[in-house]
Amino acid sequence: MRPPWQPLCPPPPSNDCGESPVLSALGEALESPEARAKRVRLAKREAFRSYRFVAEHLGEEEAAKLFANFGRRREGRQRGSTNPERDGELLARHAHLVEQATSEAERAAAPRKAAEAVYRDHGARFGNSADALEKRLRRLLGQGPRERATDAKRALEAARRRPLTEPWPGGDRN
């Protein structure tokens, strides 16, 4: 009879109380500073044990290279606009036209008129054509709520990563 399959390497050791549960945003917000400190301590301990396990099997240099790659940012284009000057000009012209608009038809035509005015003033410096500028402006206008949501997520993430000694922003220490 054939023996049961066993992995070549045993799994890395786990912490004493089993796996730590993954907390939701609300769970982290309601977590006490002491509980958060304990959770962070357990996570650091597990990371160190994992590193020792990898170093034991791959060697110290390979383990250091592997763990250094985990902290690197993904390569690619930087976030945000490639031409913030163009975007600001388009949004300013659009806001001016919307303020002056007296009917719904004028408000609907404001992106086209703003793009044509920017193209007339700046030429191809801001885009290939007035149509391209209008498309960009409409994307910027439709991006508002999504971008605000992204900013709110970034602020929440920054608050989660705060030092343990600081209270939660906008509230008590919980």
pLDDT tens sequence across 150-160: 766 776 777 77
Percent helix / strand / coil, the chain, rounded to 5: 65, 0, 35
Contact 20, 43 (CB under 8 A): yes
Considering the domain boundaries, does residue 48 fall inside one?
Answer: yes
Whole-angstrom distance, CA of residue 113 vs CA of residue 124 = 16
Residue 115's nearest CA partner among 133, 95, 140 is 133
Q: Give the domain extent around 19.
A: 12-71
Considering the domain boundaries, does residue 158 fall inside one?
Answer: no
Q: 93 and 40 in one domain?
A: no
Q: 105 and 60 in one domain?
A: no
Residue 134: CB atoms within 10 A of its CB come to 20
Write b or e for each residue in 124-133: b if 16 or more Cβ atoms lie within 10 A of its Cβ, otherwise e. Answer: eebbeebeeb
- Predicted confidence at residue 97, as pLDDT, reads 93
pTM over 0.75: no
**86-106 pLDDT per residue, tens:** 888 898 899 999 999 889 999
**What does the DSSP 8-state code read for residue 127?**
-
